[in-house]
Amino acid sequence: MILLKQMVVLFLLMMIGFYLAKRGILDEATSKKISWIVVNVGNPALIVSGSLGEERIPASSLVQVICIAVLMYAALVVLGQLMPGMLRVKGTGKSAYRVMSVFTNIGFMGFPILSAMYGSSALLYGAMFLIPYNLLIYTYGIGVIRGGFFFKELGKVLNIGVFACVLTIGIYALKLTTDAVLPEFFTQTITLLSNLTAPLSMMVIGASLADLSLKELAGDGKLILYSLLRLVAIPLLFLFVIRQFVADTMMLGVCLVMLATPAGSMTVMLAQQYDGDVKTTSKGVTLTTVLSVATLPLVFWLAGL
């Protein structure tokens, strides 16, 4: 019920963005600027806020989450390679389905959901997923789209998101090992900036739906089948496996959010930059985003979380 309420709130924020885009207020240029603020200011602050709470998470649990994150992405890469063959996708569409299978919207949607459902401590777990995510998207992601790995892009792995993850772990380690108290001006600033993430990111996503062609999406049977597999079947299958080794409810919830969020907007950006299949990735992000409003509460209900 908590997730359903949260998804309704996020959906309303998306609809505000949709309305503003239709009115010409939130145009493409404005959306790009807001996206920059979310990616480089709001979301990093949201990640760091995970270390500011009073909750204490055992170091062994953090190590366990790191192991799960690495293994999960390794499995998603394998699954992404198989997905086009399973759905009989041909041509440049293969690369689109492969990257969408691995890279979900954990920044724009995943972290706001974690914060609302489980509080700041869950963000510390979520930060563990962001490091392999960034490492993969600038190596495997670009490699799939261009047909080869381009290690000159590795420098982009050292971005503000990864820095925020490292800072979060450092602050948390400091609090675990010492009696250090962070300055109030720092914690208040981080908290206020982190509050930007959910409303701004959802409005940007809503604005991206303004040019949505329902007829075109509804007629793409392969993409609809893919979306249902990626948003419902695959998260539940992965969670079943993870449950054999993990009992902590919050950790399981974090894993499920990381798995069940829609295709990441970065897949479209990569396709645009490296001459990939922009049309398929755009349709995939749009369709999975719309469907996730219903599928996220559904998978949590089916998983009993």
Indicate the domain borders of the chain. 51-181+211-303
Q: Which helix (H) or strand (E) holds 204?
A: helix 197-208
Q: How far is CA 77 from the centre of its chain?
A: 16
Q: What is the pLDDT of residue 159?
A: 67
Question: In 3D, which of 51, 38, 180 has the Cα closest to residue 119?
Answer: 51
Between helix 59-87 and helix 93-102 the angle, nearest 10°, is: 160
Question: In 3D, which of 231, 225, 295, 247 has the Cα closest to residue 68?
Answer: 247
pLDDT by 10-residue block (mean), the chain, 305 residues: 71 85 84 78 77 68 83 90 82 82 81 78 78 76 70 62 77 75 84 82 75 70 87 91 85 89 78 72 80 87 83
Cα 52 to Cα 182: distance, rounded to the nearest angstrom: 8
Q: What is the pLDDT of residue 124?
A: 76
Cα 110 to Cα 106: distance, rounded to the nearest angstrom: 4
* Tokens of residue 222, six digits: 């392969």
Q: What is the pLDDT of residue 162?
A: 72
Q: What is the pLDDT of residue 236?
A: 92
Q: What are phi and psi of 263, to 5 degrees?
A: -60, 140
Q: What is the pLDDT of residue 231?
A: 92
In one-letter notation, the amino acid at residue 88 is R
Cα 69 to Cα 206: distance, rounded to the nearest angstrom: 29
Q: What is the pLDDT of residue 209?
A: 72
- Residue whose structure tokens are 């600027």: 33
Q: What is the pLDDT of residue 166?
A: 79
Total residue length of the chain:
305
In one-letter notation, the amino acid at residue 294 is A
Q: Is 24 left (phi over 0), alpha (psi -120 to 50) or beta?
A: left
DSSP for 113-136, please give it: HHHHHH-HHHHHHHHHHHHHHHHH
